[in-house]
Chains A and B, each alone.
Chain A
């Protein structure tokens, strides 16, 4: 299983939110480019960027994202507000390993099919999940769709993977939603990336044991609950 540090961007800063709520910001750091490089120095070769402002339509950190891609210190998967074919093309051309698609991909299956077929292996679908149901629009709106019906709908597409964020666990470092992740892995004909709630190496080992392909880790790395060097050493890069 890969271990991937999260770089969540808000107003040009790297932040961490609790429970996916914008008024519960717990970490705020300057200079995202420097932070990306630090993760690489600690031993990570892949980073997960989310533009939180673009995801919620409050703004954009595209320039910062482009700087990180140009810097090329790691392989980047980039998401947050990626809603047009132009967005996808621009990010892939700038060097992103894959783009992470959320809201529009979930709301418009025809669009997801078109862009996934046009960019095989380069589109990852992100499902923010609360109690097994998928939420979109920066977590403000909860759809009533079951995550497993989403998996079935996209099973025929050449996706790079499915990122499942257990939003109700996010930023709490009290453990992931293991039963959810295990069931999604069982149901998915593509790699499953897990995030939300990872607080310890034991959480990561439990995810690996259940066949999760990669874990995206945020709060636990930014607060020092997990030693990045130990993490990068135990889990392959």
Chain B
């Protein structure tokens, strides 16, 4: 029941790892994607740039995509959510392509969006169970899925309405940072993991 955080080598993962460890399961950091998918739950963290992360995934992209499609649970946070899609305007490189669509720059004057934003049109009961109604964001880009039915929560920054969360199979992607969204955010992570990795 190991949780593995794929480390793109781009930044500080301590607070995320601390929250994951709080679920009582062992957590490891892995810089090699092939090794990383040998796990019970893969976490794609939210630090760094799309191209650099895509580069780190390049050799194992198809393996990882197949593993997720076969049901390996995955939580993608911020950039980690964006990596679930095909490609990004942020830079070259291929995402995992678990979800069809592109990542584009937010249509707003204040970019990046840094701060709290409300969640609406929430269709996934996980949010209500965690009492997560507002979430902390730090992003310049947002995902534009070809199939809006995969979106389970939305937020709006200025005039840009963008997916706050997407879900397909055992994969959940969130544009916000649950690990920085205070108690409800931490509860959101804990409940997702408890649901998907029953003891």
Q: Do A and B come from one complex?
A: yes
Q: Check B114 against A214 for contact (C-beta < 8 Å).
A: yes
Q: Check A120 against B134 for contact (C-beta < 8 Å).
A: yes
- State the CA gap A190–B180 with chains docked (Å): 4
Q: Check A158 against B182 for contact (C-beta < 8 Å).
A: yes
Overall SS of chain A's interface: loop
Q: Check B18 against A187 for contact (C-beta < 8 Å).
A: yes
- State the CA gap A187–B181 with chains docked (Å): 13
Q: Check B138 against A187 for contact (C-beta < 8 Å).
A: no
In this complex, the interface size class of chain B, counting residues with CB under 8 Å from chain A, is 20 to 34
- State the CA gap A214–B186 with chains docked (Å): 21
B40 at the interface (CB under 8 A from A): no
- State the CA gap A214–B137 with chains docked (Å): 12
Q: How far is the CB of A96 from chain B (nearest CB, A)?
A: 14
Q: Check B110 against A45 for contact (C-beta < 8 Å).
A: yes
- State the CA gap A69–B11 with chains docked (Å): 37
Q: How far is the CB of A42 from chain B (nearest CB, A)?
A: 15
Q: How far is the CB of B17 from chain A (nearest CB, A)?
A: 9
A1 at the interface (CB under 8 A from B): yes
Q: How many residues of A contact B (CB 8 A)?
A: 26
Of residues 108 through 160 on chain A, the ones whose CB sits less than 8 Å from some CB of chain B are 120-121, 155-160
Of residues 1 through 39 on chain B, the ones whose CB sits less than 8 Å from some CB of chain A are 11-12, 14-15, 18-19
Interface string of B126-139 (1 = CB under 8 A from A): 00000001101010
- State the CA gap A158–B130 with chains docked (Å): 12
A101 at the interface (CB under 8 A from B): no
**A213 and B114 in contact, given A121-B182, A155-B183, A189-B183 (Cβ under 8 angstroms):** yes
**A157 and B183 in contact, given A191-B136, A236-B112 (Cβ under 8 angstroms):** yes
Interface string of A189-224 (1 = CB under 8 A from B): 111000000000000000001110110000000000
Contact of B110 among A159, A188, A213, A236 (CB under 8 A): A236
Q: How far is the CB of B171 from chain A (nearest CB, A)?
A: 23
Chain B residues with CB under 8 Å of A1's CB are 114
Of residues 158 through 200 on chain A, the ones whose CB sits less than 8 Å from some CB of chain B are 158-160, 182, 185-191
Chain A residues with CB under 8 Å of B184's CB are 158
Q: Check B183 against A211 for contact (C-beta < 8 Å).
A: no
Chain A residues with CB under 8 Å of B116's CB are 121, 160
- The 18 listed contacts between A and B (C-beta, < 8 Å) are A120-B133, A120-B182, A121-B182, A157-B182, A158-B182, A158-B183, A158-B184, A185-B12, A186-B15, A186-B18, A187-B15, A188-B180, A189-B19, A191-B115, A209-B11, A213-B138, A236-B110, A237-B110
Beyond known contacts A187-B18, A188-B180, A211-B12: 18 more, CB 8 A cutoff: A121-B116, A155-B183, A159-B182, A160-B116, A185-B12, A187-B15, A189-B180, A189-B181, A189-B182, A189-B183, A189-B186, A190-B136, A190-B180, A191-B180, A209-B11, A213-B114, A213-B138, A214-B114
